[in-house]
C-alpha cells in the first residue's frame, strides 16, 4: 500500500518539511546556533588562509635567500661584508647593467603604535641594497618616492601604513637615536614585504652599530633550475659557512607555526561552539518527533517502513544545517573577506600584516561542518522516531 521505499521517503519528507513552520521557534534557535558556529569557524580559518596567501605571494622559485649555516631565519643569521661579495660573484646570479641582482640585508625591530589601539607593536625596519626592488617582481612605489641612499629616509609597505600610525608620507619618527623621515609608500601585491619599513642598509648599519655585518643575502638566480648549482657552489666554498633556501621554501617554513596555531585554535573553538549548536538541533528534532508521534505511528500502521521515517527526520535536520551554513557563509564573506589585520610572526617576533581570505575551500569547510552538525542533531531523534511502537503512538493524544 505504501509503495516502494523511494516513494515512502519522498512522501514523508515532503510532509515533514511542509510542517516546519509549526516548529518555527525551535528551528530558528538551531539555525541561528549553526550560523554562528559557521561564521566563527570561517572567520578563524580565513586568518590562516590570509596569512598563507601573503607568504605564497612572497615566495619565488628564482630568488634565493642565503643565511649563516645553522640559522633557520634572518634573526639568527649573520654574514660579513666580504662574504656577501663572494656570494655576489656567483655565476648563477642574474645580472643587469647595474651588476649582480643581489641585496645584502639586515633588519631591526622598531616600535610603531597600532592605529586601532595605539599600543606599541614590533615592525621590521629593513636595510636593503640598491638592487632590492628588482628582487620583488611586483614592487612599485604608489605614493611619494623611494629613499635616497645614504640618508635617514624610509619607505613603508602599504600593509604597514594601513595598520600602524605615523607611516604616512612626510611623517617623522624617532627610532633609536635617529630621526627618520617617511618619503614613500610601496606595494608588492600583498606580500610580506608590505609589512615592513625599508631604508638603505649602510645607513641602518651605522644607526644601530652593526658595523659591516648583514643578516641575509637575497639574490635573483639566472633561472629556477640554477638553485642547486648555486647552493652546491656556495656550500662547498671554504670561505663561506652558509645555508640556502629558495624564497618560496623559506616563507613556507616560516608560516608553518602560525598556520598550525591558528587552525588548531579555530577548530577547537568551532568544536566547542558546535556542541551548543548540536544540543539546539537535538532539542528541535526531539520536539518535532514528539509533536508527530501519532502521525508517525499512523504512517507505520499503514505500512511505511522505519527507514523512511529516519530519512525524513534527518532531512529536516540537514535542511536546518544547510540554511544555517549558508547564512553563516554569507555573513563571513561580507564581514571578513579582504579585512586587513596584523598578527605576530613568531619566526621574527614582529608584526606581519595580511588580509582575511574567505576562499571557496574555507566556505566549503564551513558548509560541511554545518551539515555535520545538522546530521548529528537529527540522528538520535530520527532513531527514536523509527523505534516508536505503533500501539504506543496511536494512544498518544
Among candidate residues 204, 222, 240, the one where a domain is terminated:
222
Residues 135 and 198 in one domain: yes
pLDDT of res. 231? 94
Report the C-alpha gap between 62 and 328 in whole angstroms. Answer: 41
Is 70 exceeded by the pLDDT of residue 305?
no
Report the C-alpha gap between 334 and 390 in whole angstroms. Answer: 49
**Residue 251 near residue 52 (C-beta atoms within 8 A):** no
List Cα–Cα distances, 95 to 134, 225, 329, 356, 357, in angstroms: 11, 16, 49, 37, 36
User: How buried is 238 (Cβ within 10 angstroms: 0-12 exposed, 13-18 middle, 19+ buried)?
Assistant: exposed
Establish if 179 belongs to a structural domain.
Answer: yes
Angle between helices 306-336 and 247-291 (to 10 degrees): 140
Residues 113 and 33 in one domain: no
2 Cβ partners below 8 Å, 6+ apart?
8, 302, 303, 304, 305
Establish if 143 belongs to a structural domain.
Answer: yes
Helix, coil or strand: residue 369: helix
Query: Which residue is listed with cell 601585491?
Result: 189
Residues 212 and 78 in one domain: yes
Residues 39 and 97 in one domain: no
Instruction: Work out how many domains the chain is built from and give that number.
Output: 2
Residues 179 and 211 in one domain: yes
**Residue 46 near residue 40 (C-beta atoms within 8 A):** no
pLDDT of res. 2? 43
pLDDT of res. 3? 47
| Average of per-residue pLDDT across 349-369 | 83
Establish if 153 belongs to a structural domain.
Answer: yes
Report the C-alpha gap between 249 and 257 in whole angstroms. Answer: 14
pLDDT of res. 342? 66
Phi, psi of 109 (to 5 degrees): -100, 125
Residues 279 and 370 in one domain: yes
Give the confidence band of 57 by pLDDT, cuts at 50, 70, 90.
low
Establish if 237 belongs to a structural domain.
Answer: no
Establish if 377 belongs to a structural domain.
Answer: yes
Report the C-alpha gap between 346 and 261 in whole angstroms. Answer: 11
Establish if 235 belongs to a structural domain.
Answer: no
Give the confidence band of 310 by pLDDT, cuts at 50, 70, 90.
confident
| pLDDT tens-digit series, residues 128-166 | 999 999 998 889 999 999 999 999 999 999 989 998 998
Cα 71 from chain centre: 26
Helix, coil or strand: residue 357: coil
Establish if 187 belongs to a structural domain.
Answer: yes
pTM (predicted TM-score): 0.71
340: cell is 586587513
Is 80 exceeded by the pLDDT of residue 37?
yes
Note down the domain range covering 384.
5-56+255-395
Among candidate residues 222, 246, 263, the one where a domain is terminated:
222
Count of CA atoms in the C-beta half-sphere (13 A) of 62: 14
118: cell is 595605539
Residues 144 and 194 in one domain: yes
- The DSSP element (H or E) to which 103 belongs, if any, is strand 102-113
High-pLDDT (> 70) share of the chain, %: 79
Cα 131 from chain centre: 31
Residues 327 and 269 in one domain: yes
CB burial of 138-158 (b: ≥16 within 10 Å; e: otherwise) equals ebeeebbeebeeeebbbbbbb
CB atoms inside a 10 Å sphere around CB 247 = 23
Residues 81 and 202 in one domain: yes
Report the C-alpha gap between 20 and 305 in whole angstroms. Answer: 22
Report the C-alpha gap between 291 and 23 in whole angstroms. Answer: 9
Query: Which residue is listed with cell 615592525?
Result: 123
Residues 98 and 187 in one domain: yes
Q: Give the helix, strand, coil percentages of the chain, each rounded to 5.
A: 55, 20, 25
Among candidate residues 205, 222, 239, the one where a domain is terminated:
222
Residues 164 and 47 in one domain: no
Residues 289 and 318 in one domain: yes
- Rg from Cα positions in the chain: 30
Establish if 77 belongs to a structural domain.
Answer: yes
Amino acid at each position: 500500500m505504501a509503495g516502494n521505499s523511494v516513494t515512502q521517503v519522498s512522501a514523508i519528507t515532503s510532509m515533514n518539511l511542509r510542517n516546519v513552520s509549526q516548529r518555527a521557534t525551535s528551528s530558528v534557535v538551531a539555525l541561528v546556533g549553526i550560523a554562528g558556529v559557521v561564521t566563527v569557524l570561517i572567520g578563524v580559518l580565513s586568518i590562516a588562509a590570509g596569512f598563507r596567501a601573503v607568504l605564497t605571494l612572497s615566495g619565488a622559485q628564482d630568488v634565493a635567500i642565503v643565511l649563516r649555516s645553522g640559522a633557520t631565519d634572518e634573526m639568527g643569521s649573520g654574514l660579513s661584508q666580504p662574504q656577501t661579495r663572494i656570494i655576489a660573484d656567483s655565476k648563477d646570479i642574474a645580472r643587469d647593467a647595474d651588476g649582480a641582482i643581489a641585496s645584502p640585508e639586515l633588519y631591526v625591530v622598531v616600535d610603531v603604535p597600532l592605529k586601532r589601539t595605539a599600543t606599541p607593536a614590533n615592525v621590521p625596519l629593513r636595510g636593503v641594497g640598491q638592487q632590492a626592488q628588482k628582487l620583488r617582481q611586483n614592487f612599485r612605489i604608489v605614493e611619494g618616492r623611494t629613499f635616497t641612499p645614504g640618508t635617514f629616509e624610509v619607505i613603508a609597505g602599504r600593509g604597514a601604513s594601513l595598520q600602524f600610525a605615523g607611516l604616512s608620507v612626510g611623517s617623522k619618527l624617532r627610532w633609536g637615536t635617529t630621526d627618520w623621515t617617511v618619503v614613500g609608500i610601496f606595494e608588492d601585491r600583498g606580500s610580506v614585504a608590505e609589512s615592513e619599513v625599508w631604508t638603505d642598509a649602510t645607513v641602518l648599519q651605522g644607526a644601530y652599530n652593526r658595523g659591516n655585518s648583514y643578516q641575509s643575502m637575497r639574490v635573483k638566480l639566472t633561472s629556477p633550475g640554477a638553485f642547486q648549482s648555486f647552493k652546491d657552489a656556495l656550500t662547498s666554498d671554504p670561505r663561506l659557512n652558509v645555508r640556502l633556501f629558495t624564497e618560496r621554501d623559506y616563507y613556507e617554513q616560516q608560516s608553518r607555526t602560525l598556520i598550525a596555531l591558528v587552525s588548531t585554535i579555530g577548530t577547537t573553538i568551532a568544536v566547542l561552539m558546535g556542541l551548543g549548536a548540536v544540543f539546539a538541533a537535538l532539542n528541535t528534532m526531539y520536539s518535532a518527533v514528539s509533536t508527530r508521534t501519532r502521525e508517525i505511528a499512523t504512517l507505520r500502521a499503514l505500512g511505511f517502513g522505519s527507514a523512511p521515517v529516519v530519512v525524513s527526520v534527518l532531512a529536516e535536520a540537514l535542511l536546518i544545517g544547510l540554511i544555517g551554513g549558508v547564512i553563516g557563509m554569507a555573513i563571513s564573506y561580507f564581514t571578513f573577506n579582504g579585512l586587513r589585520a596584523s598578527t605576530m610572526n613568531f619566526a621574527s617576533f614582529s608584526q606581519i600584516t595580511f588580509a582575511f581570505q574567505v576562499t571557496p575551500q574555507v566556505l566549503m569547510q564551513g558548509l560541511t561542518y554545518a551539515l555535520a552538525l545538522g546530521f548529528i542533531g537529527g540522528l538520535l531523534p530520527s532513531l527514536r522516531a523509527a523505534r516508536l511502537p505503533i500501539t504506543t503512538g496511536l494512544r498518544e493524544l
